[in-house]
Amino acid sequence: MKVPDFIKNRFWLDRGWVNGIPADVEIPEKPLYEVIDEACIKYANRVAINFYGYEISYIMLKNLSDRAATAFVKMGVKKGDVVAIYAPNCPQFAIAYYGAMKAGATVTAISPLFAPREVEYQLNDSGAKILVTVEQLYPNFNAVRKNTKVEKVIVANIFGGEAKVEGDFIDFRNLFAVEPNPPKISWDVKEDLAVLQYTGGTTGLPKAAMLTHYNVVAQVYQLMPFTDVLRKWLKNESKIIKREPPYITLELNGKIVKTFEDYYDNDYSPRVAILPWYHIYAQTVDLNSGLAVGDLLVVFARFEPEKLLEAIEKFRVATFMGAPAIFVYYANNPDLLKKYDLSSLIYVNNGAGPIPPEVVKKWDEATSNAVRNMLVEGYGLSEASPVTHTTFGPPFRARKIGSIGPPIPNTYAGVIDPSTLEFLPLGKEGELVISGPQVMKGYWNRPKETEEVFFYADGMKWLRTGDIAKIDEDGYFYIVDRLKDIIKYKGHSVYPREIEDVIYEHPAVQEVCVVGIPDPEAGENIKAFVVLKQEYRGKITEKELIEWCKERLATYKYPRIVEFREELPKSAAGKYLRRLLREESIRKGIANQ
């Protein structure tokens, strides 16, 4: 099988890609924690984490994770064991995450939204030996504890106090009672696992992507140039008006911006860490990448819309990595955005799922007072650690709404015919495939699924993403929809995202998720689950919304069924759980027969 020259040559590099973003970066062969330790020494006295006012410096993070590693080893943890973390974003998560790796363990992080049955499944499937959790989530584990093989459970009070729960457990603070003496581990970084990242389980039971230390370190170095470009731009394009510690006041494109003096002088760019760290997207773009370059992480345990904006204004946050549900919320509450000074933002990125163009437009309108906070989109998946594509807006490059941008350094991407695996030309829709150093080793204990998700062409190993995509003449990639989410209506292929984008244009709509449900005549029927804005509830009917769609879509594309909901089910990463909506509709259909 042949890879076309335009892909092998990565033609997007010749289409005006951003100065300072190289085709390839050098990726060191070292474990992830060494990268973070180097940053902890380099930026020793900077604040690494601010958690609701509680601060941890870089050197303190290293010391505490060294102590945690030493304690894990004393508990019997050895290279190759699995340590599970079942916690929201908090300092203890970061300490346990790097501490477990220093002890030689592989980390698997469990969604804080999981119910006991789901916690039990991940613990057993991963073979976790140690569990680190928090007081609030401990009862969920304890309910299934006897069904797992977990040997020890460590419980934290997220604000650093005594953990007060019942049963046999170790207080997280006891990890710090030992002198720091982490073991010396011999690593094969391209084979040894750093993370077992469980997928969302859109089909069947969740499975874990095996991410090696080389995979996750590759991501840190692949993303570093983007931070460098943004920092250099800020320094080159701004003019210092006055120094008034801890701020410098700048004039940037005719607008006044306040930024931390340390940021301007020493490459220090605060970022909000609102994405859930159990997900590899957040581990990569906030935790690992943020710490590796010496950033301040302003950490939130959960999404708190107004407090998040307050933090952006207070800490002069430069980088905001979000997910669709976050931006949908703000798009539907534009007055909230307008209350705060967001002018410090120089990079706002959506990941974890596609974002409707209408939401992007509403964000732009509501934040027009800001200097450089245009919302752009990236792409990734758990199996690729996860980032494969991202982009900038002006002044670096033209933004194309709906595009995920070109591939990041060291990454090859193309579009194939999913039935023949043949690569397709520009403009044709097919399955997106990826090749690069961030691509997983395979699925944990799933040899059949591993074999099915990879193929080889021209000596390169390619990952099948399951997403339908296309490439334009400038090298911008576009996600059309999930291959498995395509609705087959009377033989036509219908993309839920296209319908959702149309429905989002309706002024009454707050959220929408479209699924296909079995139908004896059509094969699958098209159903839209819609959350209306509060002020429109009771004032618009399902039939009116269907008519809206009929005027804007081909006859085989508009939804035949609309159901209004108070809310839509989402994962902790903010993805709509289509499978749950589909299964619920099927059950209702059977019950009504």
In the chain, the domains with their CATH numbers are: 5-26+215-389+396-479 (3.40.50.12780), 32-186 (3.40.50.980), 486-591 (3.30.300.30)
Using alpha carbons, select from 272, 271, 333 the residue that is nearest to residue 303. Answer: 272
Q: What is the mean pLDDT of the chain?
A: 89
Q: Look at residue 67 and tell me whether its pLDDT is greater than 80.
A: yes
Cα(195)–Cα(441) distance, integer angstroms: 11
Q: What is the pLDDT of residue 246?
A: 66
**Pair of tokens at residue 411:** 């990454």
317 touches 270 (CB < 8 A): yes
Q: What is the pLDDT of residue 247?
A: 65
Cα distances (angstroms) measured from residue 152 to each of 94, 104, 155 = 19, 17, 10
Average pLDDT over residues 327-332: 88
Which of 10-19, 129-138, 385-394, 483-492 shows the lowest mean pLDDT across its residues?
483-492
Q: What is the pLDDT of residue 374?
A: 75
529 touches 515 (CB < 8 A): yes
Cα(478)–Cα(93) distance, integer angstroms: 34
Q: Look at residue 515 and tell me whether its pLDDT is greater than 70.
A: yes
Q: Look at residue 203 and tell me whether its pLDDT is greater than 50.
A: no
Q: Look at residue 158 and tell me whether its pLDDT is greater than 70.
A: yes
Could you tell me how far CA 577 lies from the centroid of its own chain? Answer: 16
Q: What is the pLDDT of residue 1?
A: 78
Which of 91-95, 508-512, 581-585 shows the lowest mean pLDDT across its residues?
581-585
Pick the more confident residue, 132 or 399.
132
Q: What is the pLDDT of residues 493-514, one digit of tens each?
A: 788 888 998 999 999 999 999 9
Which of 248-262, 367-381, 403-417 shows the lowest mean pLDDT across its residues?
248-262
Q: What is the pLDDT of residue 295?
A: 92
Q: Look at residue 239 and tell me whether its pLDDT is greater than 70.
A: no
Pick the more confident residue, 83 or 115.
83
Using alpha carbons, select from 476, 396, 108, 375 the residue that is nearest to residue 228. Answer: 396
Cα(415)–Cα(196) distance, integer angstroms: 27
Q: What percent of the chain has pLDDT over 90?
A: 65
Cα(526)–Cα(234) distance, integer angstroms: 47
Q: Look at residue 311 and tell me whether its pLDDT is greater than 90.
A: yes
Q: What is the pLDDT of residue 257?
A: 66
Q: Look at residue 162 and tell me whether its pLDDT is greater than 80.
A: yes
Residues 6+ apart with CB under 8 A from 25: 221, 222, 224, 225, 409, 410
Band the pLDDT of 573: cuts 50, 70, 90.
low
Q: Write out the E strands in 168-260.
A: 170-171, 193-198, 208-212, 238-244, 247-252, 255-260
Give the Cα-Cα-Cα angle 307, 312, 318 (nearest 5 degrees): 150
Pick the more confident residue, 251 or 228.
228
Cα(161)–Cα(57) distance, integer angstroms: 19
pTM for this model (two decimals): 0.85
Band the pLDDT of 241: cuts 50, 70, 90.
low
Q: Look at residue 245 and tell me whether its pLDDT is greater than 70.
A: no
Q: What is the pLDDT of residue 202?
A: 37
